[in-house]
Amino acid sequence: MRGGRPSDDGVPLAVDRLEVRYGARTAVASVSFRVEPGEIFGLLGSNGAGKTSTIKSVIGLVPRSGGSVRVFGADPATDAVRVRAEIGYVPESTLLYDALTPREFLEYVSGVRGAPPERVAERAAAFVKAFRLEEEFDTPIVALSNGTRQKVVVVAALLHEPGLLLFDEPFNHLDPRSVRLLKEILREYVVGGRRGILFSTHTTELAEQVCDRVAIVDAGRVLAEGTVPELRARVTGGGTLEQIFLRLTDEEEGIRTAAQSVRPGAA
């Protein structure tokens, strides 16, 4: 450590007893996990479980009320610029600069990140071709479909080859080809490197297919954490990740009752 600045510990992300509150409401009560180098780590939870708040506090977009967060050893609360330089972020909702075209948006993001121009140019050309964005590359974002916007924000997150990807529901709006492509890209991204990915989803199939390890989050707490086989072993009856998730969150019976209560003609 020099000048009070923490050194890089090589761990993409370490979250310890994180708490996030919005006024009187607690969004994250106590969440701990680590994303190791070369790993895709999934946060699986229902809507409102605290996944997005966790990701936002990792970037420093929302202040944490307790606990600690380290991105390659740096604290986003005190070293936000360094942390943000290490991160590629795909937010849950793609609210970008509507008045910019994808080209203009990527130029702005790359400029702010201070990315090497030649490398960025090469990678941008490759991504545009891979995601078939050529025709819409100079069309303002306001006129693009949700799926195309999602592709643009995914490219913006990957362009500068960050050490940590924070992907909040990244497959939203994507067509089947793009979903498959992104899965392959994510898998390739972490192979043999120092890089890690934190991936949040409420879709159990995606978590099962993409993640090396998963934390099941409910009401701002981690209920269980491990690989899918490890989680299966912890739950009576095993089954798919969806079944494991529902058993851990005690929702299996409740769902059946709730569905029956709203069927057409139900009292």
How many C-beta neighbours within 10 Å does residue 164 have? 23
The candidate with the shortest Cα–Cα distance to 17, out of 70, 59, 62, 60, is 70
The candidate with the shortest Cα–Cα distance to 85, out of 94, 93, 74, is 74
Q: Which is nearer to other proteins, 149 or 247 (CB)?
A: 149
Q: Are 107 and 146 spatial neighbours (Cβ–Cβ below 8 Å)?
A: no
Q: In whole angstroms, give the CA distance from residue 155 to residue 101.
A: 13
The minimum distance between CB 20 and other proteins, in angstroms, equals: 11
The minimum distance between CB 14 and other proteins, in angstroms, equals: 19
Q: Which is nearer to other proteins, 114 or 265 (CB)?
A: 114
Q: What is the DSSP letter of 239?
A: -
Binding site for other proteins (CB under 8 A): 22-24, 59-63, 80-85, 87, 89, 91, 95-101, 103-104, 106-117, 120-121, 124-125, 128-129, 133-140, 142-144, 153
Q: In whole angstroms, give the CA distance from residue 81 to residue 26.
A: 27
The minimum distance between CB 118 and other proteins, in angstroms, equals: 9
Q: Which is nearer to other proteins, 22 or 239 (CB)?
A: 22
Q: Which is nearer to other proteins, 51 or 247 (CB)?
A: 51
The minimum distance between CB 108 and other proteins, in angstroms, equals: 4
Q: Which is nearer to other proteins, 49 or 115 (CB)?
A: 115
Which conformational region is residue 161 in: left (phi greater than 0), alpha (psi within -120 to 50 degrees), or beta?
A: left
The minimum distance between CB 213 and other proteins, in angstroms, equals: 24
Q: In whole angstroms, give the CA distance from residue 96 to residue 248.
A: 36
Q: Which is nearer to other proteins, 50 or 213 (CB)?
A: 50
Q: Which is nearer to other proteins, 105 or 245 (CB)?
A: 105
Q: What is the DSSP letter of 71?
A: B
The minimum distance between CB 177 and other proteins, in angstroms, equals: 18
Starting from the edge strand earliest in sequence, which strands make up the sheet with 66-70, in order?
A: 66-70, 13-22, 25-35, 221-226, 213-218, 40-45, 196-201, 164-168, 87-90
The minimum distance between CB 117 and other proteins, in angstroms, equals: 4
